[in-house]
Amino acid sequence: MQCPKCHAPMHTYNRNGVQIEQCAGCRGIFLDYGELESLTRLESQWSQQAPPPPPAAPAPAPQAYPAAPAWGAPHHGHHGHHGQHGHHGHRSFGRMLFSS
């Protein structure tokens, strides 16, 4: 993907399950639909957690989203995969699972 502003190549980074494209030239950041909200949510979770010192027995970390390639579908962390995953009832995907 090319930067819409300066046309330099954009690199994809994954931060807490949020996929971010950053321009190698002007350092501009491109967010897909819903990603700003995901970042805001993560930030508010962080600021809520940050002030008190970490408890002696911290809660277990949530299961990480499995690693995915940069060309994969955008996802939004382990909470809200916006209904796209698991088209279990989708006939088209059901057929695809069984065909060459």
Count of residues near another protein by CB under 8 A: 27
Beta bridge partners of 30: 21
Q: Is 7 in the site for another protein (CB under 8 A)?
A: no
Q: Which is nearer to another protein, 48 or 100 (CB)?
A: 100
Q: Is 6 in the site for another protein (CB under 8 A)?
A: no
Question: How far apart, in whole angstroms, are the C-alpha atoms of residue 92 and residue 84?
Answer: 14
Q: Which of 56, 60, 61, 88 binds another protein (CB under 8 A)?
A: 88
Helix (H) or strand (E) segment spanning residue 13: strand 10-15
Site for another protein in 47-66 (CB under 8 A): 65-66
* Residue of 15, 20, 35 whose CA lies nearest to 82: 35
Q: Is 36 in the site for another protein (CB under 8 A)?
A: no
Quick one: tokens of 97?
A: 């699972």
What is the chain's alpha carbon radius of gyration, rounded to the nearest angstrom? 18
Residues of this chain that interact with another protein (CB under 8 A) are 1, 65-73, 75, 78, 81, 84-88, 90, 92-94, 96-100
